[in-house]
Amino acid sequence: MTLNVLLAILVGGLFAMGIYLMLRRSIVKLIMGLALLGHGANLLIFTSGGLVRARAPLIEEGETIPSAPFADPLPQALILTAIVISFGVLAFMMVLVSRAYRAVGTDDTDEFTGTDH
């Protein structure tokens, strides 16, 4: 089995587990599912960039393009940006869940029925 197939199975598993956890009634499981979806998306972007053992895309002195083979830096930059954004979203969600738990007294989403707490 090649590495691309293995990563495709891993990405599919992360998406499946993330969606399964997001559909549960516990809001803590919702956060865990959101984190798994973020990791799955990062691996998907990484895999779509192509898995090659190559050099950094540095341009030698006197040339206008890097010499082949070189790694594509765009997926790596997108993943770094996605990691920072997902960390911010998860931190916000944890604070939001903490506040909701103090107000309602449970993490069951069916108990979040009104806004009068």
Separation of alpha carbons 103 and 29, rounded Å = 19
Residue 33 CB: number of other CB atoms within 10 A?
Answer: 20
In sequence order, the β-bridge partners of residue 55 are: 70
**Is the pLDDT assigned to residue 25 strictly greater than 80?**
yes
The residue count of the chain comes to 117
Separation of alpha carbons 29 and 22, rounded Å = 6
pLDDT tens digits, 60-107: 888 888 777 777 788 888 899 999 999 999 999 999 889 888 888 888
Percent share of the chain, pLDDT over 70: 95
Q: How confident is the model at residue 114 (pLDDT cuts 50, 70, 90)?
A: low
What pLDDT, on the 0 to 100 scale, is given for residue 43? 92
**Is the pLDDT assigned to residue 113 strictly greater than 80?**
no
Separation of alpha carbons 1 and 68, rounded Å = 26
- 75 Cβ neighbours under 8 A, 6+ residues apart: 45, 46, 48, 49
CB 58 within 8 A of CB 66: yes
**Is the pLDDT assigned to residue 16 strictly greater than 90?**
yes
What pTM, to 2 d.p., does this model score? 0.78
Q: How confident is the model at residue 54 (pLDDT cuts 50, 70, 90)?
A: low
Q: State whether the Cα torsion 51-54-55-61 is positive or negative.
A: negative
What pLDDT, on the 0 to 100 scale, is given for residue 80? 92
What number is the average pLDDT over the span 13-20? 97
Separation of alpha carbons 46 and 53, rounded Å = 13
Q: How confident is the model at residue 116 (pLDDT cuts 50, 70, 90)?
A: low
